């Protein structure tokens, strides 16, 4: 590797609904260990507090990226006119890029992956004040909120990796498959499990292969 070329990537991580940056970090231990020599992961927490579930003992509902109802409720399958909190979340991500960036790529899980899809749309349309070179989606889905639909107008051209499970009961496989249509030549990992990031078998080798390609890509763009 010549002088000035990078051997590692910096990736901003967007958690799922009812998670936080810290809880998502804890759940990705095996994934981070697998790629620790290649990626520096930075975890942020969205600015929107999710109401606690009824009967919850600890009173902590976690965080989310937008609500599909005005009473601070979200369900991925619901069509809605509401994107409450979306603007605040966009501003928080921009602030993270400003304060802790630059980042080579972004990883999103579940609602965080849907949020990342919308950010990709904004970047494709030239509407972001920052930039990133690739995206990794785990259990992603299309936002059903009507005000978001214009962000799917242009095909996303940056390299993307899409991971989803055959038996995911939270975001069904069909929802993640539907999401793929908006991306140019998406790389896909389908695993037999559910709503998590797999780290054994075929996915393990695919992560390393994709990461190495992105390191190469980032070095090409920096020369």
Mean of pLDDT values over 32-59: 86
- Band of residue 7 on the pLDDT scale cut at 50, 70, 90: confident
Whether residue 4 lies inside any domain: the answer is: no
Whether residue 5 lies inside any domain: the answer is: no
SS3 (DSSP) at 145: strand
Question: Tens digit of pLDDT for each residue in 92-104?
Answer: 999 999 999 999 9
Question: Tens digit of pLDDT for each residue in 164-220?
Answer: 999 999 999 999 999 999 999 999 999 999 999 999 888 999 999 999 999 999 998
Write down the mean pLDDT value for the chain. Answer: 93
Whether residue 90 lies inside any domain: the answer is: yes
Range of the domain at 55: 10-222
pLDDT of residue 58: 52
3: pLDDT strictly greater than 70: no
The count of other CB atoms within 10 Å of the CB of residue 133 is: 18
4: pLDDT strictly greater than 70: no
57: pLDDT strictly greater than 70: no
49: pLDDT strictly greater than 50: yes
Whether residue 3 lies inside any domain: the answer is: no
Q: How far is CA 119 from CA 71, 109, 129, 163, in A?
A: 24, 14, 11, 18
The pTM for the full model equals 0.94
Mean of pLDDT values over 160-166: 96
Pick from 13-27, 34-48, 195-209: least confident:
195-209
**Residue 143 corresponds to which tokens in the numbers above?**
């936002």
Whether residue 2 lies inside any domain: the answer is: no
Which residue of the set 110, 139, 143, 145 is catalytic?
A: 110
Looking at the structure of the chain, the number of domains it has is 1
Task: Report the C-alpha gap between 128 and 116 in whole angstroms.
Answer: 13
Which residue of the set 23, 52, 72, 195 is catalytic?
A: 195
Burial-class residue 41 by CB neighbours within 10 Å (0-12, 13-18, 19+). Answer: middle
Whether residue 171 lies inside any domain: the answer is: yes
Which residue of the set 46, 68, 168, 176 is catalytic?
A: 168
Task: Report the C-alpha gap between 88 and 183 in whole angstroms.
Answer: 26
Question: Tens digit of pLDDT for each residue in 84-129?
Answer: 999 999 999 999 999 999 999 999 999 999 999 999 999 999 999 9
In the residue annotation, 195 being an active-site residue is answered as yes
In the residue annotation, 110 being an active-site residue is answered as yes
pLDDT of residue 53: 74
List the alpha helices (DSSP H) in 125-190. Answer: 173-179
- Band of residue 54 on the pLDDT scale cut at 50, 70, 90: low
39: pLDDT strictly greater than 50: yes
CATH code for the domain in which residue 212 is found: 3.40.50.1820
């Amino acid at each position: 590797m010549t002088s000035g070329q990078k051997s590692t990537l910096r990736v901003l991580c967007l958690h799922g609904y009812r998670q936080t940056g810290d809880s998502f970090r804890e759940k990705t231990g095996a994934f981070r260990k697998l790629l620790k020599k290649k990626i520096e992961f930075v975890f942020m927490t969205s600015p929107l507090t999710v109401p606690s579930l009824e009967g919850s003992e600890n009173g902590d509902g976690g965080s989310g990226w937008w609500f599909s109802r005005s009473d601070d409720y979200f369900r991925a399958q619901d069509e809605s006119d509401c994107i409450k909190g979306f603007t605040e979340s966009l501003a928080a991500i921009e602030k993270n890029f400003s304060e802790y960036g630059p980042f080579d790529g972004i990883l999103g899980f579940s609602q965080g992956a849907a949020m990342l899809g919308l950010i990709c749309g904004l970047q494709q349309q030239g509407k972001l004040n920052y930039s990133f070179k690739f995206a990794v989606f785990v259990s992603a889905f299309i936002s059903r909120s009507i005000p978001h639909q214009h962000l799917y107008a242009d095909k996303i051209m940056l390299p993307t990796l899409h991971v989803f499970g055959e038996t995911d009961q939270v975001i069904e496989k069909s929802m993640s498959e539907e999401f793929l249509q908006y991306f140019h030549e998406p790389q896909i990992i389908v695993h037999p499990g559910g709503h998590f990031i797999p780290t054994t078998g075929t996915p393990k080798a695919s992560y390393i292969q994709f990461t190495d390609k992105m390191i190469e890509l980032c070095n090409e763009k920096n020369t």
